[in-house]
Structure 1
Amino acid sequence: MTTSNSISHTAGAPPVISGKDAGKIARAAFVGTALEWYDYYLFGTAAALVFNRLFFTNMDPTAALLASFATFGVGFAARPIGAMIFGYIGDRYGRRPALLTTIVMIGAATALIGLLPDFGTIGLAAPTLLAVLRLVQGLAVGGEWGGAVTMAVEHAPVEKRGRYAALVQVGSPVATLLASGAFSLVLLFPSEFFDAWGWRIPFLLAFPMLGIALWIRLKVEESPIFKDLLAQGETSKVPAFEVFRHAGGRLLIAVLAALLGVGGFYMITTFAVSYGSNTLKVDRNVMVNATLVAAVAQIGVTFVMGRLAEKIGPGKVTMWGGIVSAVMAFPLFAMIDTKSPVMIILAITVGIMLIAVAYAVNGALLTELFPPKLRYSGVALGYNIAGATSGFMPLLATAMLGVSGNQSWGAALILAIISLLTAVGGFFGERLRVQDKQLVTSS
């Protein structure tokens, strides 16, 4: 596969990066990331609406919901392990082979969930197999986003990294539209058909989506910066170990900066859908459709914040996004508590737009916290340690409902705390940014 259009390289010389193919690479990263988050968001929605009833039926409703969210959280717990595994492959042998592997694992695991018999058919084997497939998803996702954003950034001219990193992040709202849209359609089926087969259809769609994503990924060239590291013999032998040993402070900042984009999102979507449907008894379609409206708004915010990051720095964007999200946490949940469909849609839309401010620039900020030879591992570990921590937020918020007498202040407090932690990450992250001085941009 020729790479003459995007790089030129002579032994001992810095790679010459062209902006010509940067968009193509970023779009390829976007497609894979969209499939990744489609699978993840699909599971989150199903955890709130399906798995608690069909896979944990031997429990009382509250325990079943907690078990369903715990299974959802298993995927997050596996993500740091996946980050180390695929970070090793990506920093040692190449970004491309790691990304090809992750996309196959994610798509296959999701589609197989759609074929799982429920508790009524195979008993305890049903939730066990569900947890195993969720674990496979988590391992693969642990390496997917970090590799995708690394590829996009390393193919882009330094001065345009914000916009191309943001393009990868657009995969999130697009995936929300696909996942929520698919669930909205199957919810139109009669309850009997929905429980029997309707809920499975969105999961089975992962098969054709995987084929498309894999076909696009196979055309993606290896990162020019990794090729340079390989030519110079500068790849790391055990990158995860070196990240913890030599870049521990940067890793902590990366974790803080990523908390809101992952945990905040699931608080406003997965937990809010469950809270509205199960506690407030709001129609399920209202809650799911609210996430569709929010996803459309998120796309616009993501593009704008990517460009803003190029002007003022991704750390500053992250800091202010965290501060405003913290201020708005309690008002947003108060709006949901009104049970008004209009107020609920407005609350979830505004909440997602605020969270998107920091999320949009995660890729630009995290990739510039780590040197190239540790980048895949550092970015993947930072993002996925944040994911492992915040992935249990819906579970914690649900448990808090028991303490608060089904009042939403506990969930709002959790959202405010992780928002402020992300603001701290943005503040220090802006001061620790390092750009690849070896990059030379060509037309």
Structure 2
Amino acid sequence: MSSTAASVDTDGKGEAPIKRVAAASLIGSVVEWYDFFLYGTIAGLVFATQFFPTSDPTTGALLAFTTFAAGFVTRPLGGVIFGHLGDKLGRKPMLVVTMMIMGGATFCMGLLPTYETIGIAAPILLVALRMLQGIGLGGEWGGAVLLCVEHAPDHQRGWFSAWPQLGVPIGLLLSTLSVRGLGFLGDEALVQWAWRIPFLASIVLVGIGLFIRLRIDEPPAFKKVVREDERAGIPAFEALVKHPKATFLGMGARMSESVTFNIYNAFLVAYVATLALAPKVILDALIVAAVVGFAVILGAGALSDRIGRRPVFALGAGIALVTAFPIMWLVDTKDPLLITVAVVVGWAFAACTMFGAEGAFFAELFPTRVRYSGMSTVYQLGVLPSGAVAPVIGTSLLAAYSGASWPIAVYVMAMAAITLVSLAFLPETRWRDLDTEEITDTRVKEAVR
């Protein structure tokens, strides 16, 4: 499709519609990831003492990160539930419901009594709300990306699918800035009460996100499936049975991106504390990484439209592989500037490069009738053995090896290797027609016309 055709297209793929869709997907994604990242940051700074005060510091950190992992455990459940409903009822209503679930859970976290007030009920309620966060995010991601992929001109699916992915660096930036700002109130205030403020404030973002998302339309590809009565009976089951290679290799490809994101974010927040450094050191580094990651995600999405999804994805995994040891060495110097460089390389360049390409890649692996369920399964099940347990594994490795950081680097490298092997066996999907599932030379000619 030429750029001229895209600008006047009347079937929903024109420039004006896709820009509105991209904006709606982005704002919703920002809300979801702000809430999710906020928990990870606060868990490393506050929850160990406020919700698990009877434990020694290492055990407290492990327990706090276990609750962090609880949100990942329920993400596949959200992916299955809302993937199924999204393939049956539509993408738009699922995005509204999942945002309300995530926003409501986050707001309630800000109201939670601590262990000192209600005892064991406090961590139990914390875990329950974290699990609701996971369900909301598990259902939201696939729908947000699909709105852009299925509305976008064929030769710009990578570019537009990168926009909802921007919710990650923006969400990280906003959550980190909010916690960083609370630092001016003092460490004691942060731990005692101020940590609640960003959780309660998230309700404002939810209101904005709902207002925007309610004004968008279903993508043409899904309308066609409904019109021709081709919706799958049980989409998730069909995705697994008829597309096992795409599903399981997709989960393998997910490993490095998920681990690098959470090792160089949530884990490092706690690790830097063990180096006797102030929290602002890692928080400032994450702010810089989030800003850089914004540009990297967009660049990776656009580049995937030119050279393919797999090469861009592999580039990010390759960066993660070769920089794992240098990154941990830089962190161990305790120099704030070098720590910032380390986080930017690992989080912004390695993880965000993969993240920028994966939205369109995972969507293009599946036909429209099971696309929401298929890509949600890949993304959310793939996070269980990777990002969900990354902070816990990192903390356990520190304890097992007397605080040495080299096992963390080995762990990151192993996950990068799994991703590269998985990518080698997956097809390139850049020129795949979302309706026919065919790849033709004509499409290549139209895209470069």
Structure-2-length-normalised TM-score: 0.93
3-state SS of paired residue (2:426): helix
The answer on whether the counterparts of 1:34 and 1:171 sit within 8 Å (CA) in structure 2 is yes
The residue that corresponds to 1:42 in the other structure is 38
The residue that corresponds to 1:183 in the other structure is 179
The residue that corresponds to 2:440 in the other structure is none
Identity %: 36
3-state SS of paired residue (2:16): coil
Question: How far has the Cα of 1:424 moved from its partner?
Answer: 2.5
1:305 alignment partner, one of 300, 315, 319: 300
The answer on whether the counterparts of 2:48 and 2:57 sit within 8 Å (CA) in structure 1 is yes
Post-superposition CA distance 1:192-222 (Å, at most 9, x none): 3222221111111111110000111101111
2:338 alignment partner, one of 333, 338, 343: 343
2:121 alignment partner, one of 125, 130, 133: 125
The residue that corresponds to 2:4 in the other structure is none
The answer on whether the counterparts of 1:258 and 1:422 sit within 8 Å (CA) in structure 2 is yes
The residue that corresponds to 2:136 in the other structure is 140
The answer on whether the counterparts of 2:285 and 2:344 sit within 8 Å (CA) in structure 1 is yes
Superposed CA RMSD: 1.8
The answer on whether the counterparts of 1:319 and 1:427 sit within 8 Å (CA) in structure 2 is no
The residue that corresponds to 1:249 in the other structure is 245
Question: How far has the Cα of 1:80 moved from its partner?
Answer: 0.7
2:408 alignment partner, one of 408, 411, 422: 411
Structure-1-length-normalised TM-score: 0.94
Are 1:25 and 2:21 an aligned pair?
yes
1:395 alignment partner, one of 382, 392, 417: 392
Are 1:317 and 2:334 an aligned pair?
no
Unpaired stretches in structure 1, ≥5 consecutive residues: 9-14
Question: How far has the Cα of 1:262 moved from its partner?
Answer: 2.1
Question: How far has the Cα of 1:243 moved from its partner?
Answer: 1.2
3-state SS of paired residue (2:13): strand
Amino acid at match of 1:34: V
The residue that corresponds to 1:327 in the other structure is 322
> 2 CA distance for matches of 1:162 and 1:425?
20
Question: How far has the Cα of 1:432 moved from its partner?
Answer: 5.8
The answer on whether the counterparts of 1:305 and 1:317 sit within 8 Å (CA) in structure 2 is yes
Alignment of 1:366-381 (within 5 A): 366-381=362-377
The residue that corresponds to 1:290 in the other structure is 285
3-state SS of paired residue (2:272): helix
Question: How far has the Cα of 1:17 moved from its partner?
Answer: 3.3
Question: How far has the Cα of 1:414 moved from its partner?
Answer: 1.4
> 2 CA distance for matches of 1:438 and 1:23?
25
3-state SS of paired residue (1:387): coil
Are 1:92 and 2:80 an aligned pair?
no
The residue that corresponds to 1:166 in the other structure is 162
The residue that corresponds to 1:204 in the other structure is 200
Question: How far has the Cα of 1:335 moved from its partner?
Answer: 0.6
Question: How far has the Cα of 1:438 moved from its partner?
Answer: 5.2
Unpaired stretches in structure 2, ≥5 consecutive residues: 1-6, 438-442
Amino acid at match of 2:232: S
Are 1:358 and 2:342 an aligned pair?
no
Question: How far has the Cα of 1:303 moved from its partner?
Answer: 1.3
The answer on whether the counterparts of 1:69 and 1:394 sit within 8 Å (CA) in structure 2 is yes
The residue that corresponds to 2:272 in the other structure is 276
Question: How far has the Cα of 1:94 moved from its partner?
Answer: 0.6
Are 1:193 and 2:189 an aligned pair?
yes
Question: How far has the Cα of 1:329 moved from its partner?
Answer: 0.6
The answer on whether the counterparts of 2:12 and 2:219 sit within 8 Å (CA) in structure 1 is no
> 1 CA distance for matches of 2:315 and 2:424?
9
The residue that corresponds to 2:3 in the other structure is none
Question: How far has the Cα of 1:102 moved from its partner?
Answer: 0.3
Post-superposition CA distance 1:400-432 (Å, at most 9, x none): 111111011111111111112222333333446
> 1 CA distance for matches of 2:285 and 2:30?
19
> 2 CA distance for matches of 1:281 and 1:103?
38
> 2 CA distance for matches of 1:17 and 1:289?
40
Amino acid at match of 1:350: V
Post-superposition CA distance 1:144-189 (Å, at most 9, x none): 1111001110010110101101111111101111000000001221
The 1:258/1:74 distance shift into structure 2, 3 A limit, reads: same
The residue that corresponds to 2:57 in the other structure is 61
> 1 CA distance for matches of 2:324 and 2:8?
44
Post-superposition CA distance 1:219-271 (Å, at most 9, x none): 11112111110000000111111111111110112212222222210100111
